Amino acid sequence: RGRIPVNKKMETCVEGIYAIGDIVNTPFLAHVASKEGVIAAENAMGVNKEATYHAVPRCVYTEPEVAAVGLTEAEAKRAGMRYKKGSFDFRALGKAQAIDKIQGFVKVLVDENDRLIGASVVGQNATDLLTELTLAVHLGLTAKQVGDVIHPHPTLSEAIMEALHDIHGQSIHKV
């Protein structure tokens, strides 16, 4: 109620008329509206693009930052999904210790095929760190695929690699 219905191409019930952002029933986030605008513009120009919302980054710009993408553990449980989780605490990161920002963690969820279905990051630069995990959820990558990528040291992004390794009991720096 109070929102304009659109299809996956952001087109309203009137052919050639598009709507995006806060006037449609999608997540009220600036980055979502921006992507919808691109999709609507491309479709208006004859490109066949559809919006998807399974990998929308959710960010809270507090101290520490909080960010998540995909399913939460509670949502996976409610859906009756079989999943595994991995986590890694910032306290074990050399970079976090060096910049005195040890409060934080990364938590990742994978389905029974090892595909990333959700992730949460709390801590310094969490909203930036979430990008790698958003890409993984969007593309349906596995924990092994992303975890096998060399992450530079010392960085906060090592927590992502370690959390992914933790799913398979292979995190070598977990405390």
In the chain, where are the structural domains located? 1-53, 58-167
The first and second tokens of residue 137, run together, are 């959820």
What integer pLDDT is reported at residue 175 of this predicted model?
A: 83
pLDDT reported for residue 148: 97
Residue 45 pLDDT greater than 80, yes or no: yes
1: confidence class by pLDDT, cuts 50, 70, 90: low
* pLDDT average, residue stretch 133-159: 98
What average pLDDT score do residues 55-74 get? 98
Task: In whole angstroms, give the CA distance from residue 89 to residue 122.
Answer: 9
pLDDT at 2: 80
Catalytic residue numbers read 153
Contact between 142 and 116 (Cβ < 8 Å): yes
Residue 15: pLDDT band with limits 50, 70, 90: very high
Mean pLDDT of the 89-93 span: 97
What pLDDT score was predicted for residue 13?
97
Q: Give percent of the chain with pLDDT exceeding 70.
A: 99
Is residue 107 within 8 A of residue 120, CB to CB? The reply is yes
Mean pLDDT, range 148-164, rounded to an integer? 98
CATH superfamily of the domain spanning 58-167: FAD/NAD-linked reductase, C-terminal dimerisation domain (3.30.390.30)
- What burial class does residue 108 get, using C-beta atoms within 10 Å of its C-beta: 0-12 exposed, 13-18 middle, 19+ buried? buried
Question: Which residue bears the tokens 């370690």?
Answer: 162
Among 1-10, 60-69, 73-82, 141-150, name the one with the lowest average pLDDT: 1-10
Distances (CA, A) of 59 to 12, 33, 132, 150, 155: 28, 15, 14, 26, 20
